[in-house]
Structure 1
């Protein structure tokens, strides 16, 4: 699964308990906040090595042609196997029909506990339900599956236009993970920094975990290219190899290979759930709404 504004204004913060009946909304200016929490007691134990290895993306991206895309433009780069990043990892979750994964990344906040991913990796806007057993595993790979541990998500924040309407321009979300061993995740692996309203034609590095059917190494891939404008609230990125599973991959400006981090301006998702082919990906533009959403993470 790699999937605009209807009411540019109302925000929904969400986590995972009392899923059937939302809590009362609290209006804060133009921001409307609803909060739920996930019980994290059994999440880390749920994600055994074998269960992580057998997890799949929820939907498969097509690698073929679409009516509006004849094929990759000349010079489109191909992603390469990445050594991984401590700040990027797999987001594992259950949706009621199996174990699945997306890509996520640590994002800097005062609480030092935040993870960024696609909205559709946290909440199914078609069925109007949150996923369960959500956990983030930094730098995941099958040969060393939990190098920095398993970090259960205790709360998540989404925009109400995503949860209410599946608005692709708001297909991103932030999650707070529980401390592990008394430590905050940002203190253990570092973090990317958030940047909004950066415009288009930006050189970014995108790191993600593609579907194992196409990339059996079960390790992250990495590629760099310029973004382009698809629409007012959607940016695009061309590089081959971004199959399902790469949903939520951070779009990083000024990527520093030493710190394995930089400045994030998007997360793979949005238009066509992130793209209908493996070579063209999309991400919702981070604007002031996204910046406001991030301030709610605690």
Structure 2
């Protein structure tokens, strides 16, 4: 991600931020291969949806710009974006059977949002707390909303294409984020926020059920992750706060998409969209420990190239929650045009901070990353 720090795949100029931000420490994703890989974009038409002209302020033919080595227009040797491709549990045969054995209900319940997120404020009386990955607000303060009933997410049993991403960091602490299955040629791909950074013993649990001895759609081992190395949660680095991971087959040899179905990765069609957002707050932030969902509308996050939405209940653990356009209740699928992430890890800090969430704008950069992830 370091060479695409100023990616031009989302519209509008970036205004200089006026407030101070607390920098978030970031641990590199567990890796076995050195390093970063260049690539050429080659997308399968069956798995992704690239809307023509979906980036209203950007030229459709403009390539992703390079911060440090951009060549003049028309010159040869333009630097390609750099991507991390990292193995989980290098040297081990980490299977979905191993993941199911390791991630007991007790370990799942103990998992928390990423360790590099600042401590949450004391929860209010109902046991809720701040969302994960938020620091001092860097976008201009929102204007006071007109008096109206506050929209809040509802608790429900979840959908098969969305679940919980579990992993263990270097300090042996269990992490919890949200991830979703996306359609891909090999039927083995999930999407999450870049700052979720799965570490050792990473596993995905679709339609997670708290305390269940057997999960309805199983526990799936994660084998490899793909992300931009310069991703972050401040400045233009937060425009690249997304990542993909490949999932190992289950004990019957099935790929995850065969079991759960998948959502279609789609370019963000503009700043104003109707979406369904589904995620999993961690139990320490929401004691009900169930999926939450909200039908809402998006708008532009002022001073950025990102989106925002308003709906209460998206506490710590919901980073990576997909924003689904055209959601079909019968199939539980839709077109994923965003996810909770981006600036400050996906939201502001302050009273009622669970009510506002952010998303990176999906354009050239995410499809470049998808192309690398689907190539193996």
Q: TM class, shorter-chain normalised? A: 0.7 to 0.9
Q: What TM-score does the superposition give when structure 2 sets the normalisation length?
A: 0.68
Distance 1:84 1:74 in 2: 31
Q: What TM-score does the superposition give when structure 1 sets the normalisation length?
A: 0.85
Q: Which moved more, 1:217-226 or 1:48-57?
A: 48-57
Partner of 1:120: 195
Question: Does residue 201 of structure 1 match 2:201?
Answer: no
Count matched residues: 282
Distance 2:276 2:36 in 1: 40
Q: Deviation of residue 165 (structure 1)?
A: 8.4
Distance 1:114 1:73 in 2: 41
Which structure shows the bigger proportion of residues in strand conformation?
A: 1
Q: CA distance change for structure 1 residues 87 and 253 in 2, over 3 Å: closer, same or farther?
A: same
Q: Deviation of residue 115 (structure 1)?
A: 0.4
CA offsets 1:60-100 (integer angstroms, 9 cap, x no match): 3637x979357665334111112200000000111233112
How do residues 44-63 of structure 1 correspond to structure 2 at under 5 angstroms? Answer: 44-58=100-114, 59=117, 60=120, 62=130
Question: Does residue 30 of structure 1 match 2:30?
Answer: no
Assess if the C-alpha contact under 8 Å between 2:277 and 2:322 holds in 1. Answer: yes
What's the C-alpha RMSD, in Å, of the aligned pairs? 2.9
How do residues 38-187 of structure 1 correspond to structure 2 at under 5 angstroms? Answer: 38-39=88-89, 40-41=94-95, 42-58=98-114, 59=117, 60=120, 62=130, 68-69=141-142, 74-75=147-148, 76-97=150-171, 98-122=173-197, 131-144=199-212, 146-162=215-231, 167-181=237-251, 182-187=253-258
Q: CA distance change for structure 1 residues 203 and 157 in 2, over 3 Å: closer, same or farther?
A: same
Q: Deviation of residue 102 (structure 1)?
A: 0.6
Distance 2:208 2:306 in 1: 28
Partner of 2:331: 259
Name structure 1 gaps, 5 residues minimum: 123-129
CA offsets 1:3-44 (integer angstroms, 9 cap, x no match): xx63428xxxx97433xx733644646233443212324444
Name structure 2 gaps, 5 residues minimum: 9-27, 41-78, 121-128
